[in-house]
Amino acid sequence: MREVDARGLSCPEPMMLTAEVLKNTTEPVKILVTEPHQKTNVEKYAKDHGRTVVSNETKDGFEITIS
């Protein structure tokens, strides 16, 4: 599974990286972010583009699996 490590990056970089990877693949991808609002934004973006999302909290942020 492709993984995008967006931890610690300022907005809108996590969204831009997510958009880029989703544009290039329909395979499941894993996005790592630090802030709760970045998790919300990435989840919303993926859902708006017809993908399903499962998120888990990690010790330093969130792991969002988009399939």
Partner 1 sequence: MNLSDSKKKLALAGVLSGLVAVCLAVFGNPVNMAFCIACFVRDTAGALGLHQAEVVQYARPEIIGLVLGAFIISVVTKEYRSTAGSAPMIRFVLGMILVIGSLIFLGCPLRMVIRMSAGDLNAWVALIGFILGVGTGVIALKKGFSLGRAYVIHKLNGGIFPALMLGILLLALFTSLLKASESGPGSMHAPLILSLIGGLIFGAVAQKSRMCFAGSIRDVILMKNFDLLTVIASLFVVMLIFNLASGRFVLGFNTPGIIAHSEHLWNILGMYAVGFAAVLAGGCPLRQLILAGQGSSDSAVTVLGMFAGAAVSHNFGLASSGTSLNPETGELVAGAVTSYGKIALIICIAVCFVIAFTNKREGAKS
Site for partner 1 in 2-41 (CB under 8 A): 7-13, 15-16, 19, 34-37, 40
Nearer to partner 1, 20 or 27 (CB): 20
Indicate the burial class of 35 (C-beta count within 10 angstroms; 0-12, 13-18, 19 or more): middle
Nearer to partner 1, 3 or 13 (CB): 13
Edge-to-edge strands of the sheet including 2-5? 2-5, 29-33, 61-66, 53-58
Asked if residue 62 lies in contact with residue 54, where contact means CB atoms within 8 angstroms, the answer is no
Nearer to partner 1, 27 or 60 (CB): 60
Please report, as ranges, the residues that interact with partner 1 according to CB under 8 A.
7-13, 15-16, 19, 34-37, 40, 44-45, 60-61
